[in-house]
Amino acid sequence: MNAGVGLVAVLTVSVFTLAIGVYGVRVSRTTSDFYVASRSVGPVVNASAISGEYLSAASFLGAAGLILAQGADALWYSVGWTAGYLVLLVLVAAPLRRSGAYTLSDFAELRLESQAARKVSSVVVALIGVLYLLPQFQGAGLTLRTLVGAPTWTGSVLVAAVVLVIVLSGGMRSITLTQAFQYWLKLTALIIPLAVLLAHWRRTGGATPPQLHMTDWVEPMQGRYATYLVYSLMVATFLGTMGLPHVVARFYTNIDGRAARRTTLGVLGLLSVFYLLPTMYGVLGRIYSFRLVESGRTDAVVLELPTDVLHGFGADLLTGLLGAGAFAAFLSTSSGLAVSVAGVLSQDVLRGRSESVRDFRLATALVVSLTLALLMASSGVPVARAVELAFAVAASTFCPLLLLGIWWRGLTAPGAITGLVVGGVTCTIAVVAALAGYHAPGVAGPLLAQPAAWTTPLALAVMIVVSLATADRRPPGVMRTMVRLHTPEHLDLDRGSFDPDRSSRPTVQPGRPTAHRRDDRRPATM
């Protein structure tokens, strides 16, 4: 690989991203612009931005690497990550948008009328965000090492620096434009090299070496505990999507609930097209790059396939294009995560007498710095596995909270808090064990490796049981809140306003639209 081509590709993507971020400074003039782009993003742009944000290091590099290593069982990663949006569309998208909240912590307080529920939710948001940021920085280090031979830490630091600039400058308004551009860049970066590689494979006779037909690779659920591991993976990916803070925050940028549903349908289409591509790279890797399985470097298959199949400057150009797409994946997902987590921390940890963009920027720097520190201490699990662990925590915490909070009026603050703590603690123990490289003996091994299948039902059951036991502590305004969540905006009902600084209960103010107190047009406090 020509290091010059790789360096040019990475720098080009970084410069374009910074340029769009600088443009975001010119259009980000209010606090609402920084947090939710003033709720003015259309479905097409938002669907592209969500897809760009959602298609992370695991999607661009990790999915192909797992298919190369595990075969048919790894197909559930792509299926689950896409199907998770279908669950989100059917059960969560429109009611969550109608809530008027900006973050999952806002929703918890609005629905449960509890400051304690808000605080616990904020801790969980920060936990999920940092867990999801880890593989983004890890993948950036892998990419830069593959492209130019640089030390692994340099790629992580580069992505962290670019993310800080674009998030600190323009907030949500800025990164929405950046992520929409990056989705199409990632799609192009995968399609063009794949077309060339497939043409070469056909021209050389379509060879299929013996390792492509290994039974444990072609047939699903062949190993010990494989059935449990696959179903637990499905639970994590199907249900974890709705609990990802950077995904949920996107629906607050839509104009209304109808636009939120249209956005989700668009995302389903864009993800379905994208996830066809890593599968093909994994299969071609089994033919041409099987050495990566033997060396344990399967995450690099997308980047190393062109030089394994072709030779010369053409292979370098294809690798450079893939490197550019990979960096776009790291930057887009990292930006969304940084905005979501920083938004929560700035409200609930750094908040003083008034919200300010200054607190938001400080929180962003803290989140990025903490993630870099944790990356140095982790054992370096495969990129897709690391993302899956974040999905497991989300499925074990916010999935029960959202489902019960939106569809069951009996949920109480003690029930929700207890469920969040039980699900979060049990799943986090398993995640820490995985990140530390610990392998438990016997049946405890798969239970810790894939915890979602038991931690998610556990959290759901705890929320229900404790809520039934504390039925006398149901929020006084629960019926009004449920009407607010399930009534379309076009009916123009008096929804009231939600102000977490003044009270833990929603208030009704005739003639005023539903809005969080930040949904105003006042200049951002710098």
Q: Which of 188, 129, 124, 175 minimizes the C-alpha distance to 419?
A: 124
Least confident among 131-145, 245-259, 276-290, 486-500 = 486-500
State mean pLDDT over 169-197.
Answer: 80
Report residue 300 as tokens: 């690099």
Tell me which residue of 146, 135, 62, 58 sits closest to 324, measured CA to CA: 146
Of 268, 251, 271, residue with least CA distance to 260: 251
32 in a structural domain = yes
Q: Is residue 450 part of a domain?
A: no
Q: Is the pLDDT at 518 greater than 50, yes or no?
A: no
In angstroms, the CA 400 to CA 381 distance is: 27
pLDDT tops 80 at residue 200? yes
Alpha-carbon distances of 240 from 392, 396, 438, rounded to whole Å: 6, 8, 23
Is pLDDT larger for residue 36 or for residue 267?
Answer: 267
- Higher-pLDDT residue of 201 and 520 is 201
3-state secondary structure of 498: strand
Say if residues 112 and 413 touch (Cβ distance below 8 Å): yes
d(CA 215, CA 425): 38
405 lies in some domain: no
What pLDDT score does 419 carry? 97
Around 417, how many Cα atoms within 13 Å sit in the side-chain half-sphere?
Answer: 15
Between vectors from CA 291 to CA 286 and to CA 292, what angle results, nearest 5°?
A: 80
pLDDT in tens, 409-449: 999 999 999 999 999 999 999 888 877 777 888 888 899 98
- Tokens 């989700």 sit at which residue? 264
Q: How far is the C-alpha of 99 from the C-alpha of 107, rounded, in Å?
A: 7
What's the pLDDT band for 196 if we cut at 50, 70, 90?
very high
Tell which phi-psi region holds residue 496, choosing left (phi > 0), alpha (psi between -120 and 50) or beta: left
* Average pLDDT score over residue span 389-394: 91
Angle (CA) 325 331 337, round 5°: 135
Percent of the chain residues past pLDDT 70, beyond the cut: 80
pLDDT tens digits, residue range 19-43? 766 665 554 444 444 444 444 566 7
Alpha carbons 98 and 86: distance in angstroms, whole number: 18
CATH number at residue 55: 1.20.1730.10
Answer whether 0.85 is exceeded by the pTM.
Answer: no
Question: Is residue 169 within 8 Å of residue 34, measured between CB atoms?
Answer: no
Cα 326 from chain centroid (whole Å): 16
Distance CA 202, CA 278 (A): 19
Cα 106 from Cα 111, distance rounded (Å): 9
Does residue 146 lie in a domain region? yes
Gap between the Cα atoms of 449 and 61, Å rounded:
21
Q: What mean pLDDT do residues 354-365 have?
A: 73
Name the phi and psi angles at 507, rounded to 5: -115, 155
Centre a 10 Å sphere on the Cβ of residue 202 and count the other Cβ atoms it contains. Answer: 9
For residue 252, give the nearest of 80, 143, 96 by alpha carbon: 96
Tens of pLDDT, residue by residue over 244-263, are: 877 766 666 666 667 777 88
Banded pLDDT at 345 (limits 50, 70, 90): confident
440-494 per-position pLDDT tens digit: 888 888 999 899 999 999 999 999 999 999 999 999 999 999 999 988 766 655 5
| Mean residue pLDDT across the chain | 80
Task: Note whether 411 and 467 are within 8 A (CB).
Answer: yes
Label residues 497-517 b or e (16+ Cβ within 10 Å = b). Answer: bbbbeeebbbeeeeeeebbbe
Measured between alpha carbons, how far is 348 from 350 in angstroms, rounded to an integer? Answer: 6
Q: Examine residue 173 and state whether it is found in any structural domain, yes or no.
A: yes
In the predicted structure, residue 106 carries a pLDDT above the cut 90 = no
Whether residue 465 lies inside any domain: the answer is no
- Does the pLDDT value for residue 295 go beyond 70? yes
**Mean pLDDT along residues 364-382:** 79
- Give dist(CA 40, CA 253) in Å, integer: 6
Please tell me the total count of domains within the chain: 1
Q: Which two tokens stand for residue 250?
A: 């996107």
Cα distances (angstroms) measured from residue 66 to each of 272, 295, 383, 444: 18, 14, 9, 23
Cβ atoms of 183 and 332 closer than 8 Å:
yes
Compute φ and ψ for 354, nearest 5 degrees. -145, 150
| Of residues 329, 333, 303, the one with CA closest to residue 6 | 303
Can you give the pLDDT at residue 521? 39
Q: Which domain holds residue 323?
A: 3-379
- Helix (H) or strand (E) run with residue 460 in it: helix 452-469
Q: What is the pLDDT of residue 239?
A: 94
Structural domain contains residue 199: yes
- Tell me which residue of 163, 135, 131, 157 sits closest to 144, measured CA to CA: 157
* Rounded mean pLDDT, 130-141: 85
**For residue 36, is it within any domain?**
yes
Distance CA 155, CA 151 (A): 8
Give percent of the chain with pLDDT exceeding 90. 26
Length of the chain: 526
Q: Which two tokens stand for residue 70?
A: 């595990």
CA distance 202 to 214: 22
Rg (CA), the chain: 23
